[in-house]
């Protein structure tokens, strides 16, 4: 056997499945970094009329779509189940009924194909999305995870090994985006809509608070900011003043970004890390990305971020994280359950 064949023998193909919220997703990832396919069926349109994700509808739609999405992922990668080394699946945190669909599908595939089952933490997936487009990135690095359910500042010590430096005390950053979007009449999903509108507004138009948390300088709090936006809107209404949606969007977004940047850069300095990454749905925000780009360049820190499509929920990130778990020897049994509040 030639060297090329030997190299090829060592390739590890992971089939990854993600159903923790409102995207039914499957992907085939080679050696943790190369995405052979990345199929996402998004349910956003279904939930829009309710102004947010309805768990029962999400679970039902996952059941309808999961087999098709997995088959498409295998076909698009040009492989069959016989080529797959392990199946990785998000088992928490997330909506329990939604998670269960992915977990059950992954167990069935693992059993039928006789390949290992590897459960993955959703946030480990988000962070690992950075490995896909930055082949040179290795731990340790500081990472800001900002999604609809989480705002964490972590030190990635090794693959899948995280130390939490700071977390939100109340709302997650994405949750604040969604709630403020609803308040200014933009609807669901709020993050991308605020992002777009903020580009036309003046970020200095309204001065919103940048909350500090006394006990831990790395922790976040966004509920006060959300209330400040609601109060501002109410007082305008009472005074009969018109509200410039774009200015509110831009000023709110700037307040969130300022806090995220300040806390993150302090952690980078404190922990002596020269590498900083962002992850999660909010990491696709254009204002946040350009603020970090500027600040990291100014401070001579390497800045890593997944492209926007890999920031929001997808299965390729689960395949990247799953690969490193698989290499560490992590194997789950058929008693693997969905864990809605799984800790990092």
- The 3-state secondary structure of 108-166 reads HHHHHHCCCEEEEEHHHHHHHHHHHHCCCCCCCEEEEEECCCCEEEEEEEECCEEEEEE
**192 touches, from ligand KG4, Zn ion, none (C-beta below 5 to 8 Å by class):** ligand KG4
Q: What's the closest the beta carbon of residue 325 comes to Zn ion, in angstroms?
A: 17
Name the helix (H) or strand (E) containing 279.
strand 275-279
Three-state SS at 275: strand
> Could you tell me which residues are beta bridge partners of residue 166?
153
Which residues, numbered 163-182, are part of the site for ligand KG4 (CB under 6 A)?
174, 177-178
Interaction between residue 24 and ligand KG4 (CB under 6 A): no
Q: Which of 54, 291, 52 is nearest to 174 (CA)?
A: 52
Taking the C-alpha atoms of residue 214 and residue 221, their distance in angstroms, rounded to an integer, is 11
Nearer to ligand KG4, 75 or 309 (CB): 309
Q: Are 154 and 163 in contact (CB under 8 A)?
A: yes
**174 touches, from Zn ion, ligand KG4, none (C-beta below 5 to 8 Å by class):** ligand KG4
The size of the interface with ligand KG4 (CB under 6 A), counted in residues, is: 19
Q: What's the closest the beta carbon of residue 215 comes to ligand KG4, in angstroms?
A: 25
Per-residue burial over 241-274, b if 16 or more Cβ lie within 10 Å, else e, is eeebbbbbbbbbbbbbbebbbebbbbbbeeeebe
Structure tokens at 177: 């985006």
Among the residue ranges 189-197, 209-217, 227-235, 324-332, the one whose residues contact ligand KG4 (CB under 6 A): 189-197
Interaction between residue 149 and ligand KG4 (CB under 6 A): yes
**116 touches, from Zn ion, ligand KG4, none (C-beta below 5 to 8 Å by class):** none
Which positions lie near Zn ion, rule CB under 5 A? 147, 313
Q: Are 70 and 19 in contact (CB under 8 A)?
A: no
Q: According to CB under 6 A, which one of 313, 320, 322, 323 is a site residue for ligand KG4?
A: 313
Q: According to CB under 6 A, which one of 32, 125, 160, 189 is a site residue for ligand KG4?
A: 189
Residue 336: how many other CB atoms lie within 10 Å? 18
Interaction between residue 102 and ligand KG4 (CB under 6 A): no
Among the residue ranges 33-41, 142-150, 214-222, 266-274, the one whose residues contact ligand KG4 (CB under 6 A): 142-150
Interaction between residue 21 and ligand KG4 (CB under 6 A): yes
Per the document, the length of the chain is 344
Interaction between residue 93 and ligand KG4 (CB under 6 A): no
Nearer to ligand KG4, 278 or 301 (CB): 278
Interaction between residue 306 and ligand KG4 (CB under 6 A): no
202: left (phi over 0), alpha (psi -120 to 50) or beta: beta
Interaction between residue 92 and ligand KG4 (CB under 6 A): no
**168 touches, from ligand KG4, Zn ion, none (C-beta below 5 to 8 Å by class):** none
Nearer to ligand KG4, 116 or 160 (CB): 160
Q: Are 293 and 63 in contact (CB under 8 A)?
A: no
Interaction between residue 125 and ligand KG4 (CB under 6 A): no
Q: Are 314 and 128 in contact (CB under 8 A)?
A: no
Nearer to ligand KG4, 25 or 74 (CB): 25
Interaction between residue 97 and ligand KG4 (CB under 6 A): no
Binding site for ligand KG4 (CB under 6 A): 21, 147-149, 174, 177-178, 189-192, 195, 280-282, 284-285, 312-313
């Amino acid at each position: 056997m030639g060297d090329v064949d030997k190299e090829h023998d060592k390739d590890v193909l992971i089939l990854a499945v993600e159903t923790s919220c409102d995207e039914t997703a499957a992907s085939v990832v080679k050696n943790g970094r190369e995405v052979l396919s990345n199929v996402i069926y998004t349910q956003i349109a279904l939930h829009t009329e309710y102004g947010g994700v309805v768990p029962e509808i999400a679970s039902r739609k996952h059941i309808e779509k999961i087999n098709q999405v997995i088959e498409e992922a295998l076909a698009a990668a040009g492989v069959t189940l016989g080529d797959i080394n392990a199946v990785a699946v998000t088992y928490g945190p997330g909506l329990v009924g939604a998670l269960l669909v992915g977990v059950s599908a992954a167990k069935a595939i693992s059993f039928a194909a006789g390949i290992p089952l590897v459960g993955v933490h959703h946030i480990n997936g988000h962070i690992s999305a950075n490995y896909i487009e930055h082949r040179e990135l290795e731990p340790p690095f500081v990472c800001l995870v900002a999604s609809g359910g989480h705002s964490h500042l972590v030190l990635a010590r090794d693959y899948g090994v995280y130390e939490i430096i700071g977390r939100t005390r109340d709302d997650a950053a994405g949750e604040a985006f969604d709630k403020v979007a609803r308040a200014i009449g933009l609807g669901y999903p709020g993050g991308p809509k605020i992002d777009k509108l903020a580009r036309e507004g003046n970020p200095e138009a309204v001065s919103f608070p940048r909350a500090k948390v006394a006990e831990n300088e790395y922790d976040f709090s966004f509920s006060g900011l959300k209330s400040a936006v609601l109060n501002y809107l109410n007082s305008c209404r009472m005074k009969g003043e018109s509200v410039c949606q774009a200015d509110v969007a831009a000023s709110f977004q700037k307040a969130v970004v300022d806090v995220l940047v300040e806390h993150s850069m302090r952690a980078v300095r404190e922990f002596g890390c020269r590498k900083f990454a962002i992850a999660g749905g909010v990491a696709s925000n254009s204002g946040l990305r350009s603020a970090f780009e500027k600040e990291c360049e100014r401070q001579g820190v390497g800045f890593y971020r997944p492209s926007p499509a890999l920031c929001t929920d997808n299965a390729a990130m689960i395949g990247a994280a799953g690969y490193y778990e698989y290499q560490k020897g992590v194997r789950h049994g058929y008693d693997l359950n969905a864990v809605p509040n799984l800790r990092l």
